[in-house]
A and B are shown apart, each in its own frame.
Chain A
Amino acid sequence: MLKLITPFMQIVDVPMRALQGLLGPRRLAWVFLLPNLFVFGFFTFLPVILNFFYATTGSDHILLQDRPFVGMTNFGQLMNCQSYLDPNTCQIDVFWRAVHNTLWFIVLQVGFMVVFSMITALILNRKIRARGFFRAVFFFPVLLSPVVVALVWKWILQDQGALNAVLDYLGYPTVNWLLSPTWAFAWSIFLSVWFHMGFYTLILLAGLQAIPRDVYEAAAMDAASPWRVFRKITLPLLMPTMVVVMVLALIKGVQTFDEIYAFTGGGPGSATTLVIQYIYQNGFSAAPRLFGLASAASILVAIVLVALTAVQLWITRRNANG
């Protein structure tokens, strides 16, 4: 490898030294950073700035020069509610339905996700038969495309789907799962937990394996019950990992879009419309396209995500510092 690198270094050595002589070592660093800064600026910073521009302008025109400045009108419309607890009292009721749905979704999804991931990790951490196989099985859904996952579950749950066929065969009444707002929402949470659980199980499994064995051996010598061992040893020592899992799941929950959109389309009505879908619909599939409203909503979501990310960073640093 060194043989390959050395001639290359010899080739670039002369022009680099010349450039350093011309610019000085401090400025030369910028030459190396510039390509990356350009890519990052063009594809990350510029869209963020554009988003603010669209959020403060109106009309359905996409070109910036054609969009009249409307100040905070879009934010005002989104926030105009008599009661934030009742979307029907809001000017943009669908946005608030989506906010409510998203809040319920993350509370339930994150709760179930952590509990089931924890149980699965505890089981997979034991010396059971075919442990490697089961670890792979639980991780497998993570590798699938969200659209594939959504379509598979849609086929299972639709009116004439596999689940109803089984219920019918067993003599039970069938249920139109995706036509009932409550069931559709419940299945959306199930799907999301099923889809992402493997990832969080893996993190918790790593956390479990990092707990020193001698602590368990000491507990065994004291004849501590399994429940007491779990409560007094496993849970406290796993807590830092669990908090990271919770915050990660929370951020992912707020961003949820593709699997639920492909699964229910946000319906029935707006029962499973999440806030990212609301943004997508207004910006890309509505007629006329309300880019301003969509951008304003995305900025509000970004504020929530920044707050959650800050919490995650704080926890991670606190854990790292012991």
Chain B
Amino acid sequence: MIKKRKVVAAALAATFLATTAASAAVQLRFECAQDGNECDTMMAIFKKFEATHPDIQVKMDLVPYKAILENLPVDLAAGTGPDMAKITDLGGLHKYYLDLAPYVDKAALEKDFGKTLDWYRAGPNDKGIYGIQTQLTITGAFINKTLFDQAKVAVPGKDATWDDWAKAARAVAKATGTKYPMAMDRTGHRFAGMAMPYGAKYFDAKGNPEMNDPGFAAAAKQFVAWNNDGTMDRNVWAGQGGASYADATKEFINGELVFYYSGSWQIQKFAKQIGDAFDWEVMPAPCGPAGPGHCSGMPGGSGVVGFKSTKHPKEVAELLAFLAQPANYSELEAKSLNIPANATVATAGVKYEGVTPAASKALNAFSAQVPTISPVGYAFQGYKNNRAMFNITVKRLTQAIVGEMSVDEALKRMDADLKEAVAASK
């Protein structure tokens, strides 16, 4: 009996010690919005890190993307944010970032992540390391190739302009009875992918943001005209209020759309949901009216950052450095079907896992567009108030589309809104 009691006491003591040890470990809270399987893949990599760092635990809070956009900034401002998060407002949250530089091999990260590190920085004089770009995305055009074949319309070539695409898409839609010739996601980010080829600069000579240069205005006028003449699926932009996001993935997947301007993150969804229903392809970036040399998508994507409110800066930095290691980073990209931002990984190539031939072709098509991205795109993506500019674009262009104001009036309002936003964020 006494022996039995001893065994029970020993077991209890062991459990208590194990619990105490576990609670003594550093726990890092990681907030992540699932984009395909990216968060799960990251957690699998973090588990490997935990295996080699038994004193560190990573707890993932899986949240909707809206929470990352709307709740996370409020939590961070209130000092109740997580230790790390996967974010997309790269420049906008800069003031909350933890500088990883004191804890990591800065030179190695500079070499691997180059330009994307700037997206997290406050400006050209800031040399800190704040985040690891886990997903490099690029906006671009998807076409329903089957509809082109059925309509016997030639697919516009490499240097085709936006206007060429509009003509071709209208011809295909007419010949095949397809409901919508073109559509673009309702976001200023995607609109930038059209505006830059038209010559939009987004910044004046002094580097101040602006939204009414001739290139931007020309793209805005063309876009509004296409929404009003039926070239663009009017439901996407005019069917919403405020700056809410909307897309046309459903229409494209259902074969009701000829040309869809979205981005590389759609590949996984299209591969899975379209299957063999029809052939779809990614086209080279459409060019502006000036033709070849003026063709660029808008870069973007998400990254993982640490926040300076964390009580464990060293551990956060160690974890992010682990994720950035080529072997781990390559695994992340291969499983989540993303374009790598890590130069070492990009040079070596990524062997995408479980990918269909169409998805593989699409990934390669987008990867080939990375070198053509305009410097304006990189600068715009890294600008801390870019989300304000995206929202202003959507809100005012929609008002012009539905006839609440003229395009010229909308452009004037955009400028005023931008000044107000910049003043408020100082």
Q: Which A residues lie at the B interface, using CB under 8 A?
A: 58-63, 88, 91, 93-94, 97, 159, 176, 178-179, 181, 264-273, 277, 281, 284-290
Question: Which stretch (B28-36, B233-241, B286-294, B296-304) binds chain A?
Answer: B233-241
B421 contacts across to A, CB distance below 8 A: 287-288
Which residue of chain B is the closest to A181 with respect to CB atoms? B402
Nearest chain-A residue to B421 (Cβ)? A288
Interfacial chain A residues near B235, Cβ < 8 Å: 159, 176, 179
B163 on the A face (CB < 8 A): no
List the B side residues contacting A61 at CB < 8 Å: 77
Tell me whether B239 and A270 are in contact (CB under 8 A): no
Contact indicator B424/A268 (Cβ below 8 Å): no
Q: Could you pull out 28 A-B pairs where Cβ atoms are within 8 angstroms?
A: A59-B424, A60-B424, A60-B425, A62-B78, A63-B78, A88-B409, A179-B235, A179-B238, A264-B240, A264-B241, A265-B240, A265-B244, A266-B241, A266-B242, A267-B239, A267-B402, A268-B239, A269-B238, A269-B401, A270-B404, A271-B402, A277-B242, A286-B391, A287-B391, A288-B385, A288-B424, A290-B420, A290-B424
B398: interface (CB < 8 Å): yes
B residues sitting closer than 8 Å to A (CB atoms) are 69-70, 73-74, 77-78, 89, 92, 234-235, 238-244, 385, 387-388, 390-391, 395, 398-399, 401-405, 409, 413, 416, 420-421, 424-426
CB contact between A287 and one of B89, B239, B399 (< 8 Å): that residue: B89
Name the A residues within 8 Å of B390 (CB-CB).
Answer: 287
Report the Cα distance A265→B241, complex, angstroms.
Answer: 5
Is there contact, CB below 8 Å, between B402 and A288?
no
Residue on A with the closest CB to B409? A88
CB contact under 8 A between A287 and B92, given known A61-B77, A268-B402: yes
Whether B425 pairs with A281 at a CB distance below 8 angstroms is no
Assembly CA distance A91 to B387 (angstroms) = 22
- Contact A267/B391 with A181-B402, A288-B385 known, Cβ cut-off 8 Å: no
Q: Chain A residues near B240 (CB, 8 Å)?
A: 264-268
Min distance, Cβ B414 to any Cβ of chain A, angstroms: 12
Give the residues in chain B near A58, CB-CB below 8 Å. 424
Q: Which residues of A contact B238 (CB under 8 A)?
A: 179, 267-269
The SS class assigned to the A binding surface is loop
Partner of A267, one of B241, B385, B409, B426: B241
Known: A97-B404, A285-B242. A267 touches B398 (CB 8 A): yes
Q: Which residue of B lies closest to A260 (CB)?
A: B241
Measured CB to CB, the nearest residue on chain A to B416 is A91
A88 to B403, CA, bound (A): 12
If A63-B77, A270-B242, A270-B399 are given as contacts, then 11 extra A-B residue pairs at C-beta distance below 8 Å, sorted by A number, are: A59-B426, A62-B77, A179-B239, A181-B403, A267-B242, A269-B401, A271-B241, A272-B241, A285-B242, A287-B387, A290-B420
Partner of B242, one of A62, A273, A290: A273
- CB-based contact B241/A288 at 8 Å: no
In the complex the two chains form, is B398's CB within 8 Å of A288's CB?
no
Give bound CA distance, A277 to B244, whole Å.
12
B425 — which chain A residues lie within 8 A by C-beta? 59-60, 288
- Establish whether residues A270 and B78, one from each chain, have CB atoms under 8 Å apart when the complex forms: no
Please give me the residue from chain A that is nearest to B389 by CB atom. A287
Shortest CB-to-CB span from B78 to chain A, Å, is: 6
Set of chain B residues within 8 Å of A269, measured between Cβ atoms: 238, 241, 398-399, 401-404
Residues on A with C-beta less than 8 A from B69 are 285
